[in-house]
């Protein structure tokens, strides 16, 4: 061990319980070079993440995972607990099992997503979100494999993307639709294997259905879906993705002004569906509808959207799980297994075709919600039902992630406050496996 390495705090995995003087069943105890972690046999990953959180709370900024026993999953659990909103580095990974390079790639993609989600909305405008996502993918992808189109402001309405335009027109900073094409074969005749769609609401006041302060304070995270699918594409590229994939980000600020969309407005979408606005705070599904239709135009057999869409999903599954919705049950079953393989907690919630009818309107084909708090009972399923109106083939090949676990309002024993990155590994794994099988 070099002197420079020895000066860094060394973190090892203990094979025995901590000495009694450190407390009953202590999770960490000091050593001559740093600390050792005494893992729970029942929940090793959770106890490892808790140890990372505890060591961050001690003020340690840089450490080395040393010794033996460091599997990839244990190292990643530690990293997730140790990092906070102000620092996404400081962990020198252990390469005993040859996983260090993969872990560095994971950290690179998670760091991008977390920094974007935690960024102040004053800095991260809709256009800035789109531009930074494109720049990140270009830094990851081989040269010449990425092209893009950015449609903004009035051009959105002219192109028929009325959902994004209507939600974003109340802000002085224009809404935008990014369509990025990752084409590793550099062949425009190659079919698109998958399309990723992300909700990119850079700040959500709720519009005229305005949120209370406690509900609005963290709404910089409402572009978490866009950050998640961007990071997932980047991770898949780093892991060898060789299929053509389109990334579609629906970016807007949902603000109040004399030019903002209003309750009672009716939006007519490209596919002819008319939508009455009964809640301007149910805006995520309005922008995703455009993104899903844009994805449908690519003829991709796999469409995955991700969004911090409903509080109802958080009520249903809590803050540790993401919620998954699908009409294609065989695909959903595979997706849940991919997520489990990546150690990302994901739970499927109900979705049937009849959920499309759960938000009726006397003036349009559907309302965008129900005019009651939180959208009423089954709000997350009803939102997914709304989205299902805008996907092809009766939902075959489509997955919807409601990212209940993407952001924590405050720190707890396992996570720092802010973005978690939960969902990135799952979506990257689905993308790689399903496009390889197609």
> Can you tell me the distance from the alpha carbon of 429 to that of 240, in angstroms, rounded to the nearest whole number?
11
User: For the chain, what percent of residues have pLDDT higher than 70?
Assistant: 98
User: Which tens digits make up the pLDDT trace of 229-266?
Assistant: 999 999 999 999 999 999 999 999 999 999 999 999 99
Tell me what pLDDT residue 438 has. Answer: 59
Could you tell me if 202 and 251 are in contact, meaning their C-beta atoms sit under 8 angstroms apart?
Answer: yes
Cα Rg of the chain (Å, integer): 22
Q: Which residues contact 369 (CB under 8 A, 6 or more apart)?
A: 278, 279, 282, 285, 359, 375, 379, 382, 383
- Region of poorest pLDDT, from 8-17, 115-124, 329-338: 8-17
Mean pLDDT of the chain: 96
Q: Tell me, yes or no, if 285 is annotated catalytic.
A: yes
Q: For residue 274, which phi and psi values (nearest 5 degrees)?
A: -105, 140
Enumerate the β-bridge partners of residue 408.
418
Q: Which residues contact 149 (CB under 8 A, 6 or more apart)?
A: 178, 179
Q: Does domain 111-437 have CATH number 3.40.630.10?
A: yes
Among 355, 350, 356, which Cα is nearest to 332's? 350
- Region of poorest pLDDT, from 4-8, 137-141, 384-388, 412-416: 4-8
Could you tell me if 340 and 257 are in contact, meaning their C-beta atoms sit under 8 angstroms apart?
Answer: no
Tell me what pLDDT residue 1 has. Answer: 47
Tell me what pLDDT residue 375 has. Answer: 82
Angle at the Cα of 36 from the Cα atoms of 32 and 40, rounded to 5 degrees:
160
Tell me what pLDDT residue 374 has. Answer: 76
- Domain regions of the chain by residue span: 3-97, 111-437
Tell me if residue 248 falls in helix, strand or coil.
strand
Tell me what pLDDT residue 221 has. Answer: 97
Q: Out of 72, 87, 115, 211, which one is annotated catalytic? A: 211
- Region of poorest pLDDT, from 2-11, 130-139, 353-362: 2-11
Tell me what pLDDT residue 15 has. Answer: 86
Among 261, 249, 325, 260, which Cα is nearest to 287's? 249
State the pLDDT confidence band at 40, using cuts at 50, 70 and 90: confident
Tell me what pLDDT residue 5 has. Answer: 55
Tell me what pLDDT residue 295 has. Answer: 98
Q: How many CB atoms lie within 10 A of CB 378?
A: 17
Angle at the Cα of 162 from the Cα atoms of 160 and 168, rounded to 5 degrees:
135
- Over 90: is that where the pLDDT of 4 sits? no
Among 419, 310, 339, which Cα is nearest to 86's? 419
Q: Out of 50, 199, 285, 425, which one is annotated catalytic? A: 285
Among 352, 354, 361, which Cα is nearest to 282's? 361
pTM: 0.96
**What would the mean pLDDT of 322-342 be, rounded to a whole number?**
98
In a 10 Å sphere around its CB, with 0-12 CB exposed, 13-18 middle and 19+ buried, how is residue 244 labelled? buried
- Over 70: is that where the pLDDT of 390 sits? yes
Tell me what pLDDT residue 3 has. Answer: 45
User: Which tens digits make up the pLDDT trace of 154-210?
Assistant: 999 999 999 999 999 999 999 999 999 999 999 999 999 999 999 999 999 999 999
> Can you tell me the distance from the alpha carbon of 177 to that of 26, in angstroms, rounded to the nearest whole number?
51
User: Which tens digits make up the pLDDT trace of 353-389?
Assistant: 999 999 999 999 999 999 887 788 999 999 999 999 9
User: Which tens digits make up the pLDDT trace of 392-438?
Assistant: 999 999 999 999 999 999 999 999 999 999 999 999 999 999 999 65
Q: Which residues contact 123 (CB under 8 A, 6 or more apart)?
A: none
Q: Tell me, yes or no, if 220 is annotated catalytic.
A: no
> Can you tell me the distance from the alpha carbon of 182 to that of 189, in angstroms, rounded to the nearest whole number?
13
Tell me what pLDDT residue 352 has. Answer: 98
């Amino acid at each position: 061990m070099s002197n420079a390495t020895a000066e860094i705090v060394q973190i090892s995995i203990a094979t025995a319980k901590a000495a009694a003087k450190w407390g009953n069943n202590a999770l960490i105890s000091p050593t001559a070079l740093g600390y050792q972690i005494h893992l729970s046999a029942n929940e090793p990953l959770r106890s490892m993440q808790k140890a990372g959180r505890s060591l961050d709370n001690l003020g340690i900024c840089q450490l080395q995972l040393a010794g033996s026993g460091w599997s990839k999953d244990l190292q990643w659990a530690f990293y997730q607990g140790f990092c906070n909103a102000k620092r996404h580095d400081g962990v020198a990974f252990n390469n005993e099992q040859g996983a260090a390079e993969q872990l560095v790639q994971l950290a690179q993609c998670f760091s991008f997503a977390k920094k974007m989600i935690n960024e102040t909305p004053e800095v991260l405008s809709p256009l800035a979100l789109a531009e930074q996502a494109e720049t990140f993918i270009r830094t990851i992808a081989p040269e010449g494999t990425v092209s893009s189109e950015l449609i903004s402001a009035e051009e959105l309405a002219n192109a028929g993307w009325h959902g994004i335009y209507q939600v974003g027109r109340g802000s002085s900073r224009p809404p935008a639709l990014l369509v990025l094409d990752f084409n590793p074969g550099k062949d425009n005749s190659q079919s698109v294997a998958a399309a990723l769609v992300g909700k990119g609401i850079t700040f959500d006041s709720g519009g005229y259905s305005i949120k209370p302060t406690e509900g609005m304070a963290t709404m910089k995270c409402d572009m978490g879906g866009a950050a998640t699918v961007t990071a997932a594409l980047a991770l898949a590229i780093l892991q060898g993705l060789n299929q053509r994939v389109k990334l579609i980000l629906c970016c807007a600020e949902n603000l109040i002004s004399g030019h903002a969309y209003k309750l009672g407005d009716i939006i007519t979408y490209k596919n002819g569906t008319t939508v009455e606005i009964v809640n301007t705070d149910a805006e995520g599904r309005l922008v995703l509808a455009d993104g899903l239709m844009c994805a449908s135009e690519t003829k991709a057999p796999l469409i995955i959207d991700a969004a911090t869409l409903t509080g109802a999903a958080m009520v249903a599954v809590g803050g540790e799980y993401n919620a998954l919705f699908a009409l294609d049950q065989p695909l959903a079953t595979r997706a849940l297994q991919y997520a489990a393989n990546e150690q990302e907690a994901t739970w499927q919630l109900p979705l049937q075709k009849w959920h499309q009818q759960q938000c009726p309107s006397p003036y349009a084909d559907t309302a965008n919600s129900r005019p009651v708090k939180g959208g009423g009972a089954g709000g997350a399923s009803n939102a997914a039902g709304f989205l299902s109106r805008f996907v092809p083939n009766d939902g075959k090949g489509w997955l919807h992630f409601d990212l209940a676990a993407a952001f924590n309002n405050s720190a707890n024993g396992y996570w720092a406050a802010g973005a978690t990155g939960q969902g990135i590994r799952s979506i990257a794994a689905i993308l790689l496996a399903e496009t390889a099988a197609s």
